[in-house]
Chain A
Amino acid sequence: MTMPETTATEDLQYRLRETAQWVRMQALQMVHHARIGHPGGDLSATDILVTLYLGVLQIRPADPAWPERDRFILSKGHCSAALYATLAATGFIAEHVLGTFMDPLSILNGHPDRNKVPGVEANTGPLGHGLPLATGTALAARMRKEAWRTFVLTGDGELQEGSNWEAALCAAQYGLDNLVLIVDRNRIQQGDFVDKIIRMDPLADKWRAFGWQVAEVDGHDYGELLHALGSTPSVSGKPTCILANTVKGRGVSFMQNNPKWHHHIPSDSELEQALAELKGAAV
């Protein structure tokens, strides 16, 4: 009997699409409100975040500190607007709090603070911190003989930070098959295309050479994301790296694949157009 399962997956994918649309619209409004932020990366990471929170992570929004929860670390902490909107969509924080994004004394700082925001596992912002932290939480699960898994999301430009590769060596040496790295590979960093700054390709080969199990997916395809994230650990004794190919600024025609929108702020009319495009997209 595969029929009910298929229906469940279709239902989930519909819910992911609907939530992602809402998260994208919220994130852009938050950045517009704050007059500061990183809309391009928010939009490239949204489908990954939504898939994790609604379809993969074992979490309890009403009990954020549930000891057996899966850990998710947003290493690219500058994409906080998308994270906060996802946390609101999941029930970790109230929706109205999103309206305080980066306001004076708001709990929603430009980069996430685990001591202030329920559901946030790590204080990130400086790049290259998430993977070492995730390596530590995965080691902790092993030492404590706990079944929870650790997921960490980095950018692709972020992998230029050497600390990632220190952690990559360590996770492979310790055979951390309870650790999953997802790379939001939108191929753009702050200043330009990654290829034009410091090339990271062939990225899959690098991770394989470091002893990781590697999968490559379309980072906007819920079916592919669910399959890749849901089937980890795929190889016993190896950490997993999922290269999620994404488009920076995904969903807004004039932001897509344009380095300018790393941290450019939409004007009133640009916001209006962006929201119209997102709303008009088929769910």
Chain B
Amino acid sequence: MKESMASERETFDCRDIFASTLEEMAAEDPRICAVVNDAVGSTKLGGFRRRFPERFVNVGIAEQNMVGASAGLASGGMIPFCCGASCFLTARAMEQVKVDLGYARNNVKLCGMSSGLAYGELGPTHHSIEDLAWTRVIPNLSVIVPADPVETRSALLWAREHDGPVFLRLSRMPVPRLFPEDHRFIPGQAPVLREGGDLTIFVNGVLVVRALQAAERLSQRGMEARVVNMSSITPLDREAVLRAARETGAILTVEEASIYGGLGGAVCEIVAEEHPVRVRRMGVPGVFAPTGSEAFLLKHFGLTAEGIETAAVDLLRSRRAP
């Protein structure tokens, strides 16, 4: 990737930086291996397979064995990156994630590709909007939703160093570069991307750019939104949530996931217990999505700059109401 590319309009499929970073790490560290469920193309691991065939395991269409064997590889001293479409990787192998990774603390890096609504028209079978709720309740499992190529790379480098299971939730939707090259992902730290005192927007993944655009539009209408990148779902930056509650008094959560149990749920748990303020959660509101492309569905569920702006205005209005 060229350094000169940081134009606002240029967008990136984060799977590319994922694949190149994984190859780079494998070249440096003989313990790194990749495990896939036949999805070599959609995980973009063709290059890895060519360069490191002896460290590439394709288990076929068999996710329970994919996660179980990854745990075995980890207990045998390897650092497996276990890659597949997020919908199958999590749902199909959830007990292996719970027992073989979380409970047994095996050092496996789960890489859930094409998460959220990325599969669009393929429908709710292929959407992965439940994965955050499922993984967030597993002790010892770090859950990360990077926002751009820089953060994706940084999160991967961190995952390699971290001795414990990690769920990296990646997308295929092109996103602009948001962070400078020297940005470092730090677990449990939610960087403030934009300051503001009227409300706080907690957001992650492919929707961060839309939340920033919404904040610009709000600013033009005289409302200043703080935008916080909550890529680290577990561990969660409690202080960032409490600061938001205390200092801005209203919170909007925005995620390409079910509004139940993910980022929105996590924020509400802290706010309700420690500093109750008005919260509104944006995401998929407890329904299976209708047919449509990812772009269509994001618009359908209000997950656009305009939709986030409207929700923010509503939130501020309801807060002022008696």
Question: Which residues does A use to contact B, with CB under 8 Å?
Answer: 67, 71, 113-115, 121-126, 128-129, 131-141, 143-144, 150, 162-163, 166-167, 169-170, 173-174
Whether B65 pairs with A123 at a CB distance below 8 angstroms is no
Contacts of B70 in A (CB 8 A): 136
Contacts of B59 in A (CB 8 A): 166, 170
13 extra interface residue pairs, beta carbon distance < 8 Å, beyond A129-B96, A139-B73: A132-B72, A133-B75, A133-B100, A134-B72, A136-B75, A136-B76, A138-B76, A140-B72, A143-B78, A163-B96, A167-B69, A170-B69, A173-B60
The docked-state distance in angstroms from the alpha carbon of A113 to that of B105 is 10
Whether B75 pairs with A137 at a CB distance below 8 angstroms is yes
Whether B99 pairs with A126 at a CB distance below 8 angstroms is yes
Complex partner residue of A132 from B33, B74, B96, B104, CB under 8 angstroms: B96
Contacts of B62 in A (CB 8 A): 166, 169-170
Chain B's closest residue to A142 (CB) is B54
The docked-state distance in angstroms from the alpha carbon of A110 to that of B279 is 43
The docked-state distance in angstroms from the alpha carbon of A114 to that of B57 is 25
Whether B95 pairs with A136 at a CB distance below 8 angstroms is no
Whether A136 pairs with B64 at a CB distance below 8 angstroms is no
How far is the CB of B256 from the nearest CB of chain A, in Å? 30
Complex partner residue of B76 from A71, A163, A166, CB under 8 angstroms: A71
Whether A123 pairs with B69 at a CB distance below 8 angstroms is no
Contacts of A144 in B (CB 8 A): 76-78
Contacts of B158 in A (CB 8 A): none
Contacts of A113 in B (CB 8 A): 103-104
Complex partner residue of A133 from B60, B71, B95, B105, CB under 8 angstroms: B71
- Would you list which residues of chain B between 22 and 81 have a CB under 8 Å from chain A? 33, 54-55, 57, 59-60, 62, 64-65, 67-78, 80
Q: Can you give 21 contacting A-B residue pairs, CB < 8 Å?
A: A115-B105, A129-B95, A129-B96, A129-B99, A132-B69, A132-B96, A133-B72, A133-B75, A135-B65, A135-B69, A136-B71, A136-B75, A137-B72, A140-B73, A140-B75, A140-B77, A143-B78, A166-B59, A166-B62, A170-B57, A174-B57
A136 and B73 contact, Cβ closer than 8 Å, known pairs A114-B104, A166-B65: yes
Q: Is the interface of B mostly helix, strand, loop or mixed?
A: helix
Complex partner residue of B100 from A67, A129, A138, A141, CB under 8 angstroms: A129
The docked-state distance in angstroms from the alpha carbon of A170 to that of B99 is 21
Chain A's closest residue to B101 (CB) is A123
Chain B's closest residue to A167 (CB) is B65
Whether A136 pairs with B55 at a CB distance below 8 angstroms is no
Per the CB 8 Å criterion, the residue count for chain B at the interface is 29
Contacts of B71 in A (CB 8 A): 132-133, 136
Contacts of B99 in A (CB 8 A): 123-126, 129
The docked-state distance in angstroms from the alpha carbon of A53 to that of B199 is 63
A137 and B100 contact, Cβ closer than 8 Å, known pairs A132-B64, A170-B65: no
Contacts of B95 in A (CB 8 A): 126, 129
Complex partner residue of A163 from B65, B75, B77, B80, CB under 8 angstroms: B65
The docked-state distance in angstroms from the alpha carbon of A129 to that of B96 is 7
- Would you list which residues of chain B between 82 and 113 have a CB under 8 Å from chain A? 95-96, 99-100, 103-105
How far is the CB of B189 from the nearest CB of chain A, in Å? 27
Contacts of A122 in B (CB 8 A): 75, 100, 104
Q: Pick the most buried of A71, A115, A121, A132: most chain B CB atoms within 10 A of its CB.
A: A132
The docked-state distance in angstroms from the alpha carbon of A86 to that of B74 is 26
How far is the CB of A254 from the nearest CB of chain B, in Å? 34
Contacts of A162 in B (CB 8 A): 64
Contacts of A169 in B (CB 8 A): 60, 62, 65
Contacts of B76 in A (CB 8 A): 71, 136-141, 144
The docked-state distance in angstroms from the alpha carbon of A139 to that of B60 is 15
Contacts of A132 in B (CB 8 A): 64-65, 67-69, 71-72, 96, 100
The docked-state distance in angstroms from the alpha carbon of A144 to that of B80 is 13
The docked-state distance in angstroms from the alpha carbon of A125 to that of B103 is 11
Whether B72 pairs with A136 at a CB distance below 8 angstroms is yes
Chain B's closest residue to A124 (CB) is B99
Chain A's closest residue to B57 (CB) is A139
The docked-state distance in angstroms from the alpha carbon of A141 to that of B76 is 7
Contacts of A67 in B (CB 8 A): 77
Contacts of A141 in B (CB 8 A): 76
Chain A's closest residue to B104 (CB) is A123
Contacts of B73 in A (CB 8 A): 136-137, 139-140, 143
The docked-state distance in angstroms from the alpha carbon of A167 to that of B66 is 9
Q: Pick the most buried of B68, B100, B103: most chain A CB atoms within 10 A of its CB.
A: B68
Whether B104 pairs with A139 at a CB distance below 8 angstroms is no
The docked-state distance in angstroms from the alpha carbon of A166 to that of B66 is 9
How far is the CB of B173 from the nearest CB of chain A, in Å? 31
Chain B's closest residue to A123 (CB) is B104
A123 and B72 contact, Cβ closer than 8 Å, known pairs A132-B64, A166-B64, A169-B60: no
